[in-house]
Structures are given as C-alpha cells and as structure tokens.
Amino acid sequence: MSEPRAVVAGHGEYASGIISAVQQITGRGDMLIAVSGAGRSAAEIEALIRSTLAERDVRVIFTDLHAGSCSMAARRLMRGIEDAVLVCGANLPTLLDFVMADGLTPQDAATRALERGRGAMMMVGPSAPPAPAGPTGGGTA
Amino acid sequence: MTLVLHRIDDRLIHGQVVVGWGQPLDIGFIVLVDDAIAANEWEAELYRMGVPDEMEVFFHDTASALAELDAYRADERAGILLTGEIGTMQQLVDFGGIRTVNLGGIHHKPGRTQRMRYVFLTEPEADALRAMAAGGVVITAQDVPTARAIPLPDVLSGATL
C-alpha cells in the first residue's frame, strides 16, 4: 500500500480508467486518487477536489483536458493553496513516470512527469513526421 | 454566420462546449453572459484560458449583452451564446431573435429536482422554460451534438430517467 501522492480528475471514467492502467503496469495505482466530473456541477467538482486534497494531504492534481471542468475547478481552488501543482492533459506515460519517481517530492515528480508525458507522444506510419533529434521520453523513471 | 447555438450550461466553458460543439460547428467565438463573471477579471481570464487561440471569448453582463446581441448576430463567424442561468437566457430570449435554446448541463443544487441525467430544475426554473417555449422558442436538452435532442416536455416529465 502506497501513500497517495496526487488526484487524477477528468471526464467520465478517465480517472479510474487510467489509474487502473497505472495499477496494472506498476502496482502503484493507489498513489493516485480518482475524481470524476461526470454529473457534477462546477461547484461540486471544486468542492470534491478541495476536500480530497485536504483529507488525503496531497498537492498535485492531474487532469485530462485543460478546458475541462476539472481543470477549471483545480485552477480556482489553487488560489488558496500556494504549493499545489496542476498538470493538464495528463496521459498514461505522465502518470507512470509520476508514480515511479521515488525520492522526488510530489511537486518535483509532477514537473518531471510532465516532460516525460510530452515526449512520449509519437506517430508511426507513412505520414509520420521525422523523429526529433535527441533522446525521447516516455520511460518510467 | 451568426450565433448558431444558444446554450444554458452551468459549467459554462468546458470540454463539451469547446470541443464537443466547438469543433463540428467551427465556432469562432463564444459570448458568455454572466453578471458575476463579467465583473470579475480573474474569473474571466480563467475561462479565457480554456479556449483555443482560434476561438475568441466575449464576457458580458446581461445588460451589455442585450446591447451587443445584434452585432454578434452579424459576425461572419459562427458563435455560441452561453449562459449559466436559465433566467439570464430568458432575458435574452425576451429581447428577441432567439428561436432555439439548448439545455447543456444544469446540475444539482438545493431546491432542484432531477429531470434528466444532466438537468435538474426548481419549479420556477421549469416555469421559465415553459414560458420561453410558449413564446415559440424550441427548447431541447442535448449535451453533445451526437446525442439525441430531448424535447422540453420530455425533459420536464422526467421521461428519460
């Protein structure tokens, strides 16, 4: 059993689904707490994320879409929590890197995971753009 | 083009609006009418950050929206008129020129009862919708374009629950 280190919030079953993938790959899914915006008002989403941060003592929030209600709610509540960090557009490589970042603070782990998640995107096929020079991200620490 | 969607959605700008409707309708601008947000630059900036660069957002209180409505209708781009409150949309409807209203998301809060998965209404709010419909406005509930548009009578009766 690991200590929770972040909230994952988004549309539909995004959070529980991606956390189940993290659990299957790393066994560390319990480091992430799922919040769904489905069926909730903006105020309800904000209250739910706020109470989860307080009760579980976490300061990192991952969301699926920067224009989404969960991201809006997170940005709004962060006004009163100076050490909170929000990463929007989180993908599976982002969360894998985050949960495997032993030895880093959650905030530092989120910073590194953001870069790894960005670098993990790739396209394969005849219309794929040339691969960028240098090492690519996407590993799990 | 003109205002192609008149939507009541208490989440205002979010994924369904920006992506779900915004992309297939090729939306170029959103007119967000909300007295509180129009008076709060921080909140307005929060919503502005939620839209892509190619989409413009205009914030208005109800009074200034009424004054600008015809100008937005003359815009060459396709636009969304967006309110979080039924009463605000009713004032815009009363001004004239709105023939359809989309119920996007009106979520639970004290005093409201559930009518659909994503529509909760107080009786005064239901009456306001009935009044708009009686005036000839076609009101349907439809969270995303691919969903079936539910007519107001079925919304009010809870037929889809």
What's the structural domain count of chain B?
1
Helix (H, G, I), strand (E, B) or coil at B126: helix
Query: Are the C-beta atoms of B98 and B5 separated by less than 8 Å?
Result: no
Higher-pLDDT residue of A84 and A135 is A84
Give the pLDDT confidence of A35-76 residue by residue, as tens digits.
999 989 999 999 999 999 999 999 999 999 999 999 999 999
Amino acid at A95: L
The Cα angle at residue B86 between residues B95 and A77, in degrees rounded to 5: 125
What element of type H or E holds A88? Answer: strand A85-88
Mean pLDDT of chain B: 96
Which tokens hold the place of A117?
Answer: 């998640």
Closest CB to A39 among B13, B19, B117: B117
Question: Which residues on adjacent β-strands are paired with residue A62?
Answer: A8, A87
Q: What is the pTM of this model?
A: 0.85
Q: Where are the domains of chain A?
A: 6-116
Beta-carbon separation of B18 and A67 below 8 A: yes
Superfamily of domain A6-116: Phosphotransferase system, mannose-type IIA component (3.40.50.510)
What is the C-alpha to C-alpha distance for residues A7 and A25, in angstroms, rounded to an integer?
18
Percentage of residues of chain A with pLDDT beyond 90: 79
Contact A42 B11 (CB under 8 A): yes
Does the pLDDT of residue A91 top 70, yes or no?
yes
CA closest to A75 among chain B residues? B46
CB atoms within 10 A of CB A82: 7
CATH number of B102's domain = 3.40.35.10
* Chain B residue whose CA is closest to A39: B118
Most A CBs within 10 A among B13, B14, B115, B119, hence the mutation to make, goes to B14
Cβ pair B118:A39 closer than 8 A: yes
